[in-house]
Amino acid sequence: MIALNEVTTPALAYLGDCVLELLVRETLVARGLAKSGQLHEAALHYVRAPEQAAAIERLLPLLTEEEAGVYRRGRNSSHLNIPKSARPAEYRMATGMEVLFGYLHLKGEQARLRELFALAYPAPGGQ
């Protein structure tokens, strides 16, 4: 078992990126998308920094104190390579979300991960 206090912020972000990617892929497959081009295009609406920043803004009021602290830890990380497609604030927020999802995954809180993901990315048209 991994000791959470020994996991670096970049490592949590790395893991959280993977956790989010898996949740996105499960969601898209469940929606019936089957072609790789469709899947890739739809995934961009979840995984780009501006979309993740908007998603975490929806979650912030719903986070526990512990979760909010983990999010801030990621958001305030000092060693970020910000892509040209995102503003620095968006990228920091997206990194905070990834850190939070990585943290929850390591804690084994799969139900909470799925709950937060559903709240962060409500189904199109309220479905």
- Active site amino acids: 17
Give the count of beta carbons closer than 10 Å to the beta carbon of residue 58.
13
Phi, psi at 79, each rounded to 5° = -110, 75
Residues 74 and 98: beta-carbon distance below 8 Å: yes
Q: Which residues contact 126 (CB under 8 A, 6 or more apart)?
A: none
